[in-house]
Structure 1
Amino acid sequence: MDQPSPHTVRSLASDLRALGIATGDVLLLHSSYRSLGFVAGGVQAVVHAGLDVLGPEGTLVVPTHTSENTDPAGWQHPPVPEAWWPVIREQAPGFDPSCTPSQWMGVIAEAVRTWPGALRSDHPQVSFAALGRNAATVVGRHQFDDALGEHSPLGAVYRLDGRVLLLGCGHRANTSLHLAEWRQASPSRAATGSSVRQPDGTSRWTTWVDVVTDESDFDRLGADFEATGAAVVGPVGGATARLMSQPALVDFATAWMAANRRAGDSASTAPPAGGE
C-alpha cells in the first residue's frame, strides 16, 4: 500500500489557505503538533507555513503560559509538601519574558516564542507571544489583575478583529473563551501570586486578585458555537482544524455563559490550558 507523502511547508500553507486564513490576518493559534502527522522540517516547517500564509502584514499569536509559576499552596497535579511552599515562593526564578519557557502550550507555541523577532507579554502566568505587524499591539499591555480580560492580549486580538485557529486540539484549549468569563457581570475572584523578576535581577513573590477561570464547560460551549455554523472545520496536514472569528466567538460565549452558568459553580484557580 502506498504511503502518504509527508506534509511540507507548501502543503501546510495550502491547507491553511483552503481553510480560510488570509494574508494580513491576526491569528491566535492553539495547536497540537503531533496531530499533524509527519512534517518534513518538523516544527520549524509548521511555523514557516503559518507565517507564509499570513505574510508581512499578518500577525501570529500563541499562548506561552507558565502554569508552574503559581502559588504552590494550590497545586494538585501533583501537590507538593507544605514545607516546600515558602522555599518555592522565595527561591523560584522570577518570570522573565525573554527566557522563561512556556509550559504545556505545545512545541509550536514554544517555537514561535523563540522565533527571531517574537515579542512576549509580561504576565507571569498567562503570557502570549506574537510575530508580525501587530505584535507590539497584541502583547504590549498585559495587566496582572486582568490576565485574560480587556487589558490582555486576548482583548487586543478582539479589537483587531482577529481569528482563532484550533489546530488538532479542542475548545478546552480555546483561551479566548476566558475573555467571556472576564466579561460576566460578577465573575468569581480570588488572590493569586507568582515569582516576578525585578529590574535589578532579583525575584519577588507578587500577589494580586483576579477572575477565577473554569474550563469545565468549554467543550460544550464550543460545540454549541460550532452548531451555529460560525466555525470552519477542515484538514490541515493530518489534523482537524477549526477556524473562527475571535469577536464572534467571544460575543457568543459571553451570552452563553450568562445563560448557562449558575452562581457557585465550581471553578479552577489553575491557569488555563492553551495547547498540546
Structure 2
Amino acid sequence: MDELALLARSDGPVTRGRLRRDLTALGLTDGDLVMFHTRLSALGYVAGGPGTVIGALADVVGERGTLMVTCGWNDAPPYDFTDWPQAWQDALRAEHPAYDPDLSEADHSFGRLPEALRRRPGAVRSRHPDASFAALGAAATELMADHPWDDPHGPGSPLARLVAMGGRVLLLGAPLDSLTLLHHAEALADAPGKRFVDYEQPVMVDGERVWRRFHDIDSEDGAFDYSAVVPEGQWPFEVIARDMIAAGLGSHGLVGAAESHLFEAGDVVEFGVAWIERKLRPAAPDS
C-alpha cells in the first residue's frame, strides 16, 4: 500500500504523540509490562516507522514499564533437515552458525517490530533459539533469564513470567491469531492428543558451538487437533480470542487506523486453558 493510501485511511500521519494518546485511551499506562504484536501497515502511515511505535509505547509505560516481543530465529536450520541426504546434513552440522541472541535476526514473518526492538540498546533476548523473546525496560532481564531449553512455552518461560508479573498483551492492528500467549495456555492445558515436536539447532555452550535437541509443543502446526471445534478456514487462536472478547475480556479501540486490543495476560491464559479443556476433553459418560 502506498503512502497516500495509508495517509487517507488513517486520517493523516500517525505520529508518536498520536500513538501515545491512542494507547493511553486504550488503557495502557505507566509501569505496565506489555507484550505487543503489531501489523504496522494497519496503523496507517506511521511517521518514522517501527522506531516511532516503540518510542510511543516506551513513553506510555515509562521507566518502570517493560516492552516484550516474540522473536524466534529467522535463519534457524529447517526442522526437517535430518531427512536431507547425509552429505547435506553433514555440511549443515559442520558450518551452520549457532544462534546468537545479540545477532541472530528475529523471524521476519513476525513483522518489523520484533527485530527493531531486540536491536535497541538495553534490550535483552532470551537464550532459546527457536522460541526466543526479547524485552526492553525495567523487568527485561528477569523476564528473559534462563529460558527453559525444553517446553519453552510452558512453566518458567518468558510467557509464564509475563503472567506471574501481572503483564498485559497488546494487539496493535495484529490479527487475533497472533496471540502468542495462547501457546502458553496450550502448554498448560490438560487435554488428550497434545502434539509435541523434537528438533535440533546449534547453540553456544561455554564458548563452543554444539547441536542441541529440543522438545516442545507443536507451535507450528498446532499443539492440538482443533478441527472438530474450529470452523474450517478459521484459525484456532482467532476463535479463542473472539470468544474471549465476547465474554467481555480486554479493552478495544483504534490506535491510529488499526483495530487494537489490550488484554490482561492472566485472563488470556486462564480463558485459553479452560476453553481448550472444555472443547477438547471427551465428555464424561452418564452415571
CA contact (8 A) 1:101 1:110 kept: yes
- Given the two structures, how large is their TM-score scaled by the length of structure 1? 0.86
Match of 1:119 in 2: 124
Deviation of residue 208 (structure 1)?
Answer: 2.7
Runs of 5+ unmatched residues, structure 2? 1-6, 224-234, 283-287
Match of 2:255 in 1: 236
CA contact (8 A) 1:70 1:192 kept: no
Equivalent AA in structure 1 for residue 100 of structure 2? D
Match of 1:226 in 2: 245
> Following the alignment from structure 1 to structure 2, what is the Cα–Cα distance between the partners of residues 198 and 39?
41
Equivalent AA in structure 2 for residue 206 of structure 1? R
Deviation of residue 25 (structure 1)?
Answer: 0.5
CA contact (8 A) 1:72 1:80 kept: no
- The match for 1:107 among 102, 107, 112 is 112
Change (3 A) 1:153 1:113: same
> Following the alignment from structure 2 to structure 1, what is the Cα–Cα distance between the partners of residues 78 and 212?
10
| Sequence identity (%) | 34
Deviation of residue 81 (structure 1)?
Answer: 7.2
The answer to whether residue 216 in structure 2 is matched with residue 210 in structure 1 is: yes
- The match for 2:276 among 251, 257, 263 is 257
SS of aligned partner of 2:110: coil
CA RMSD of aligned residues (A): 2.2
SS of aligned partner of 2:76: coil
Runs of 5+ unmatched residues, structure 1? 264-276
- The match for 1:14 among 21, 30, 48 is 21
SS of aligned partner of 1:244: strand
Deviation of residue 92 (structure 1)?
Answer: 1.4
Match of 1:92 in 2: 96
> Following the alignment from structure 1 to structure 2, what is the Cα–Cα distance between the partners of residues 164 and 57?
17
Match of 2:206 in 1: 199
SS of aligned partner of 2:212: strand
> Following the alignment from structure 1 to structure 2, what is the Cα–Cα distance between the partners of residues 41 and 217?
34
SS of aligned partner of 1:203: strand
- Given the two structures, how large is their TM-score scaled by the length of structure 2? 0.83
The answer to whether residue 138 in structure 2 is matched with residue 133 in structure 1 is: yes
> Following the alignment from structure 1 to structure 2, what is the Cα–Cα distance between the partners of residues 89 and 260?
42
Change (3 A) 1:30 1:83: farther
Match of 1:23 in 2: 30
User: Which of these two proteins has the greater Rg computed from alpha carbons?
Assistant: 2
Q: Which moved more, 1:216-225 or 1:22-31?
A: 216-225
The answer to whether residue 170 in structure 2 is matched with residue 165 in structure 1 is: yes
Change (3 A) 1:116 1:228: same
> Following the alignment from structure 2 to structure 1, what is the Cα–Cα distance between the partners of residues 209 and 103?
14
- Count of matched residue positions in the alignment of Structure 1 and Structure 2: 258
Match of 2:65 in 1: 58
Deviation of residue 70 (structure 1)?
Answer: 4.7
Deviation of residue 204 (structure 1)?
Answer: 1.9
Q: Which moved more, 1:228-237 or 1:2-11?
A: 2-11
Deviation of residue 205 (structure 1)?
Answer: 1.6
